[in-house]
Structure 1
Amino acid sequence: MRLSAKVAAATAAVALLVSACGYDETPLPEEKKAVAPESKPDCETPDESGTDPVASYNPGEGVPTGPKLDEIRGRERLIVGVSADTYLMGSENPELGNRIEGFDIEFAKAIGRAIFGDEFETGRNLELRVITAAQRIPLLEEGELDLVIRNFTINSERWGCIAFSAEYYHASQKVLVGTSLADGDEENGEYHDPSDLAGLRVCAPTGSTSLSRIQDLEPDAITEPASNHTGCLVKFQRGEVDAITGDDTVLAGLAAQDPYAVVPEQQPLSAEPYGIGVNQNDVDLVRFVNYVLEEMQTGAWDAAYRRWLQPLLDPERDDDVEQPTPVYGR
């Protein structure tokens, strides 16, 4: 079967479009806030003995065709679940009409451009739906979203519910505390590691792996969930919690918004490989996304990192941060 002119044009333009992903921030969709249960999905850990959890499907050849890709092109819109309150990753910019922008959003735009080619328009062909961490898996399973790009950690349990792209960023879990705790105070001492959280109130979003990991590392820590990290920051500023835990990317954004919050020098609590979430049945879309991620190795990934994450995570550019090497084998 011969490809249509539209598909062929999109295929030829993938590399150019990805390398020039640009920074035309995506507007917040009107009244498109998704609703889903806040309970943690019960994912069965698949039998993957010997399979690396971050291993994904081999990338395709960059041709936007296949059952799911045909559906997306037919409706002329890619639907992506994102955060709108995670500064640096995905957040509303009130100075730009509450448009959503950030590191994660650059990947949504790059994939949209690769699918639709020269015809791509952010407002028409890319719909961003604001979701919580707990809604990521249910909405993918229900087919409400094509992709989730929301600082989404890849692990074996989640592979039992959904599929993931190759890793696109390597984060780590850390702890944010107040400046007094970072410097040491008479009541609580100084924060060095999770054992110092015994008896303290620690916040993280419902549906994230962060709270359970803190409970495992320090059972005497008092965990206080919130719907998102912004909710945790509000609790922190009200004095309702003593610390916030989460990925270093997220905590850097929170600390930038509060002069009394700091992420002190510490050993990471865990590695957090970020992947793009996809419905298990949409393997054609996973392969295409992996192709786009590989194309971003030519400069688009580095440009996104330098714009959004490097100024706060590595202002001196001391770390040789690079796009993670993809792992395939499913």
Structure 2
Amino acid sequence: MPSISKRVLGALALVVALPLAATACGGGGDSGDTIVIGTKFDQPGLGLKNPDGTMSGFDVDVAKYVAQQLGYPEDKIEWKEAPSGQRETLIQNDQVKFIAATYSITDARKEKVDFAGPYLITGQSLLVRSDNTDITGEASLQNNKKLCSVSGSTPAQRIKDKFPGVQLQQYDTYSACIEALKNGAIDAVTTDEVILAGYAAQSPGAFKVVGGTFSEENYGIGLKKGDTELLTQINDALVKMEQDGSWKKAWDENLGPAGIPAPQPPQINQS
């Protein structure tokens, strides 16, 4: 009988342990929990995983501030890479609590996820090699140029809709587009100006941003649709970040070196 008792006790211990393990990796708010946040890992100045494993960038600092306001210090954050084409899926499958990853608020996306914010307004632009002289803006793209953007991104969709004469190459990451631009496989990279400026600053003298902006992108923090409590908490945190100077400090530290002055923080859509 002792062996049966041990098996029963072992099974009971497993039953008790499983729910405890499940709650430990979620976002319940207890001090012992961690929170999983999605961001980009390959966008200098915005969301970048450094060689030593640390995270840096404006989006990262916004996410850290929000997490702190939710009760999660930096050492309780688990970062998860959130490529453009996977963001809605990551949120819908509860793989992340929220995503701050150059995530433009669009009507199509709002059918699948909710957005807090916006916390930044930017616009689509073009990045070319510094010696390029024939691409000066969006009108230059119609001459059968090879243009690179990221699958699932708003900029890629805009190029398809507005510039059907362009040879659009779609990669999984912007860093792959940058490599293709560097080696001459493509003529230009298109995405939001703030993203392009980060890459230009990372490789001084190699690239230049041209043509100004030809869209308006409102970056928001994506979260599970219907989670109104979390939505309100994140919006409150963003308002506080703008008001106490942390927003401008994050901009100056991460994007100031790219030569872009801090814009006026946008109005947060509070309910």
Please list every run of 5 or more consecutive structure 2 residues that lacks an aligned counterpart in the other structure: 1-25
Q: What's 2:83 paired with?
A: 132
2:158 aligned with 1:202: no
Distance in 2, matches of 1:328 and 1:71, equals: 22
Mapped to 2, the partners of 1:121 and 1:195 lie a distance apart of 47
User: Counterpart in 1 of 2:10?
Assistant: none
Q: Would you say the 8 A contact 2:200–2:258 is kept in 1?
A: no
User: Match of 1:207, as an amino acid?
Assistant: G
State the match for 2:74 in structure 1: 122
How far apart are the structure 1 equivalents of 2:212 and 2:43?
23
Please give the secondary structure, in 2, of the residue aligned with 1:113.
Answer: helix
1:99 pairs with 2:54? yes
Larger RCO (CA within 8 A; separation ≥ 6): 1
Q: 2:67 aligns with which of 92, 95, 112?
A: 112
1:84 partnered with 2:41:
yes
SS at match of 1:256: helix
Which of 253, 259, 269 aligns to 1:307? It is 253
The whole-number CA distance in structure 2 between the counterparts of 1:112 and 1:211 is 30
Task: State the partner residue of 1:229.
Answer: 174
Q: 1:242 to 1:279 in 2, by over 3 A?
A: same
Provide structure 1 residue ranges, at least 5 long, that are not aligned to the other structure: 1-69, 185-189
Contact 1:194 1:214 in 2 (8 A): no
Question: Could you say what secondary structure the match of 1:293 adopts?
Answer: helix
Q: CA deviation at 1:105?
A: 0.9
Q: Deviations over 1:236-271 (max 9, x none)?
A: 11211110000111101111233321102x231100
SS in 1 for 2:102: coil
Distance in 2 (alpha carbons) for counterparts of 1:135 and 1:323: 27
Matched pairs, number: 242
Check if 1:295 corresponds to 2:246.
no
Contact 1:176–1:251 at 8 Å: present in 2 too? yes
* Cα offset, 1:71, TM superposition: 4.7
- For the 8 Å contact 2:105–2:220, the answer to whether it is kept is yes
User: What secondary structure sits across from 1:215 in the alignment?
Assistant: helix
Mapped to 2, the partners of 1:276 and 1:73 lie a distance apart of 19
Q: Distance in 2 between matches of 1:196 and 1:121?
A: 47
Across the aligned residues of Structure 1 and Structure 2, the Cα RMSD in angstroms comes to 1.7
* 1:73 and 2:29 correspond: yes
Q: Is the 1:78–1:127 Cα contact (8 Å) retained in structure 2?
A: yes
* Structure-2 separation of matches of 1:309 and 1:222: 30
- In the alignment, the residues of structure 2 paired with residue 234 and residue 71 of structure 1 have an alpha-carbon distance, to the nearest angstrom, of 37
Amino acid at match of 1:206: S
Q: Describe the SS at the equivalent of 2:128.
A: strand
Q: Which of 260, 265, 268 does residue 206 from structure 2 map onto?
A: 260
1:191 to 118, 127, 135: 135
Tell me whether 207-216 or 283-292 shows the greater mean CA deviation. 207-216
More strand by share: 2
Equivalent in the alignment of 1:15: none
Aligned to 2:19: none
Deviations 1:75-134 (A, max 9, x none): 71111011111000011222xx12111101112211221122xxx5422x1111112111
Equivalent residue for 1:66? none
TM-score (norm 2): 0.84
